Amino acid sequence: MTSDTEHGNRPLRADAERNRGRIVEAAREVFAAHGLAASLDDVARTAGVGIGTLYRRFPTKEALLSAVFDQVVVEITDEVDRHAANQDPWAGLVALITDVLQRQSGDRGVFEICTKADFGHLERISAHYVPAVEALITRAKAAGQVRADVTGTDIGPVIVMLSAVGDATRAADPQLWRRYLALVLDGIRAPGVSPLHPNRVSHTELMAAISSSRV
Amino acid sequence: MTSDTEHGNRPLRADAERNRGRIVEAAREVFAAHGLAASLDDVARTAGVGIGTLYRRFPTKEALLSAVFDQVVVEITDEVDRHAANQDPWAGLVALITDVLQRQSGDRGVFEICTKADFGHLERISAHYVPAVEALITRAKAAGQVRADVTGTDIGPVIVMLSAVGDATRAADPQLWRRYLALVLDGIRAPGVSPLHPNRVSHTELMAAISSSRV
DNA sequence: GTAGAAGCGGAGGGAACACCTCCGCTTCTG
DNA sequence: CAGAAGCGGAGGTGTTCCCTCCGCTTCTAC
């Protein structure tokens, strides 16, 4: 955010640096509202600069996405690691799911970098997410907090599910997803009642499936 | 499907009638795979006819959508009414949710006519769906089968949620949504554990929100 | 103050993709 | 077998992207 150079070389002129900041800020807003497919013309308009200015600073769309989301990825992975370290595994799991959803609800850009493989952020996130969730689920099951037939690979789909309901109901009530989170948590909690359809799908297969859906 | 006239007037020539059938069938397939935004060129190609032939028979995209989905809407509303009449309200509710999801999982076209207001099918469906679900929930709560803090307006979001997970995990395992259905059903079942975020949103508001999401 | 480097805006090129029209040619039917 | 009906698909029109180019403006170092 506060980098005052372009590629670590010559510092930018003051007005250029100011515009760069505006562009990143506008991109964040626009991607949050319309997803990563939003047009760069839209970003430039929101930033109040010409499209040429945007492209001089960020030669490709991907460069802009990096500038906007690299920091967010670090925040998310830190958060995930922190929750994994929670002494109470159930509390950690709930906090992890809640935090991820809170970030995603209301920010379609974040949602998409977490679920679409297109731009490489997903890999970095899942490298932290997968072991964290596996450890939490194992510990929570050992403590009798989570039903025995739930696995670590179920949490990804649970997040997708709640994220979808958050998106769908946002216009009616932006916090309504919390209601369905509570419902689903009650479903995950021990002891289960309904028998579960078997889940023989790996994290890797799930990631691939999720990021390829709704093309 | 077996209509052998265009607007109830002169019957079509045999080859034209044959092509009309192929077009409707191809449209069903293409919309199922790619959603209602799929292009009519794609439909024509799949049907093995020229784009001109398609447009002569269906002057607008909407006419084709009607030909494809009007019957589906009737089937859905019949199904919904039938489940509402189930003596065991819990069994009826589960069957209703399962049937809707079964139809939607694997058919993006059906999913979209059920959730997007664009083409007017949603209204016809919800005219049956809303009273059916309200009656089932009321009866199921009276029988102690559903937790007291769940309402009729929760079932729509639940379907959206499971439909999203079905879509996301389809490539990994097309039946995996059943696993999360069981999880959610356990969450809906009486007695609840986690307190639910209040739901002060009407069916109408929810429909509007859902059909306007992911524009 | 000023020269010139740095930066700026936005028209527009090029590509992709959608819906739909038109018309010369083909096929069916009475 | 005549002529009505139907056919195909090139192409018109429109939209929406990403990105380039270049004449003009603004900043900054001296």
pLDDT at B10: 77
> How far is it, in rounded angstroms, from Cα B55 to Cα A44?
39
Query: Would you call B52 an interface residue with chain A, using a CB distance cutoff of 8 Å?
Result: no
The dihedral built from the CA positions of residue A156, A159, A165 and A168, taken in this order, carries a sign that is negative
Whether B116 shows a pLDDT value over 90: the answer reads no
> How far is it, in rounded angstroms, from Cα B112 to Cα B123?
13
Domains in chain A: boundaries:
1-59, 67-213
What architecture (CATH level 2) is domain B1-59?
Orthogonal Bundle (1.10)
CATH fold of the domain at B67-213: Tetracycline Repressor; domain 2 (1.10.357)
Taking residue B62's Cβ as centre, other Cβ atoms within 10 Å add up to: 12
Residue whose token pair is 């079964």 = B102
Question: What is the CB-side half-sphere exposure of residue A73 using CA atoms within 13 A?
Answer: 20
Whether B215 shows a pLDDT value over 80: the answer reads no
Classify residue A55 by burial, with Cβ atoms within 10 Å: 0-12, 13-18, 19+. middle
What tokens does B183 get?
A: 């999880």
pLDDT at B120: 81
At how many degrees (to 10) do helices B203-212 and A155-169 cross? Answer: 110
Query: Would you call B45 an interface residue with chain A, using a CB distance cutoff of 8 Å?
Result: no
pLDDT at A214: 74
- Binning pLDDT at 50, 70 and 90, where does residue A212 land? confident
- Binning pLDDT at 50, 70 and 90, where does residue A116 land? confident
Whether B3 shows a pLDDT value over 90: the answer reads no
Q: Are B183 and A195 within 8 A, CB to CB?
A: no
Which residue of A183, A189, A213, A214 is the best one to mutate when testing the B interface, meaning the one whose CB has the most B CBs within 10 A?
A183
Whether B212 shows a pLDDT value over 90: the answer reads no
CB A75 within 8 A of CB A99: no
Q: How does DSSP classify residue B173?
A: -
Whether A5 shows a pLDDT value over 60: the answer reads no
Digit-coded pLDDT (tens) for A122-132:
999 999 999 99
* 3-state SS, residue B189: strand
- Binning pLDDT at 50, 70 and 90, where does residue B6 land? very low
Closest by CA to A96, choosing from A130, A133, A122, is A133
Q: Using the CA of B64, which nucleotide's C1' is the nearest one? A: C19
Q: How does DSSP classify residue B175?
A: T
**Matching fold, domains A1-59 and A67-213:** no
Whether B18 shows a pLDDT value over 70: the answer reads yes
- Binning pLDDT at 50, 70 and 90, where does residue A215 land? low
Report the share of chain B in percent with pLDDT over 70. Answer: 95
Shortest alpha-carbon distance between residue B4 and chain A (Å) = 36
CB B102 within 8 A of CB B185: no
Digit-coded pLDDT (tens) for A166-201:
999 999 999 999 999 999 999 999 899 999 999 999
Classify residue A1 by burial, with Cβ atoms within 10 Å: 0-12, 13-18, 19+. exposed
For residue B39, give Cα distances in angstroms to A109, B42, B104, B107, B110: 27, 5, 20, 16, 16
**B8 residue type, one letter:** G
Query: Would you call B195 an interface residue with chain A, using a CB distance cutoff of 8 Å?
Result: yes
Digit-coded pLDDT (tens) for A53-86:
999 999 999 999 999 999 999 999 999 999 999 9
Closest by CA to A29, choosing from A45, A53, A5, is A45
CA angle B35, A196, A177 (to 5 degrees): 55
Query: Would you call A36 an interface residue with chain B, using a CB distance cutoff of 8 Å?
Result: no
Mean confidence (pLDDT) of chain A: 93
> How far is it, in rounded angstroms, from Cα A136 to Cα A128?
12
pLDDT at B214: 74
Residue of A nearest to B213 (CA): A168
Taking the CA of residue A16 and the C1' sugar atom of nucleotide D28, their distance in angstroms comes to 13
The dihedral built from the CA positions of residue A109, A110, A112 and A116, taken in this order, carries a sign that is positive
CB B50 within 8 A of CB B19: no
Whether B8 shows a pLDDT value over 60: the answer reads no
Range B27-38 average pLDDT: 96
> CB-CB: which of A178, A193, A206 is closest to B186?
A193
Mean confidence (pLDDT) of chain B: 93
Whether B7 shows a pLDDT value over 50: the answer reads no
Digit-coded pLDDT (tens) for B150-200:
999 999 999 999 999 999 999 999 999 999 999 999 999 989 999 999 999
Digit-coded pLDDT (tens) for B63-101:
999 999 999 999 999 999 999 999 999 999 999 999 999
Whether A23 shows a pLDDT value over 50: the answer reads yes
**A126 residue type, one letter:** S
Classify residue A74 by burial, with Cβ atoms within 10 Å: 0-12, 13-18, 19+. exposed
Residues of A in contact with B205 (CB under 8 A): 172
> How far is it, in rounded angstroms, from Cα B83 to Cα A124?
46
Query: Would you call A127 an interface residue with chain B, using a CB distance cutoff of 8 Å?
Result: no
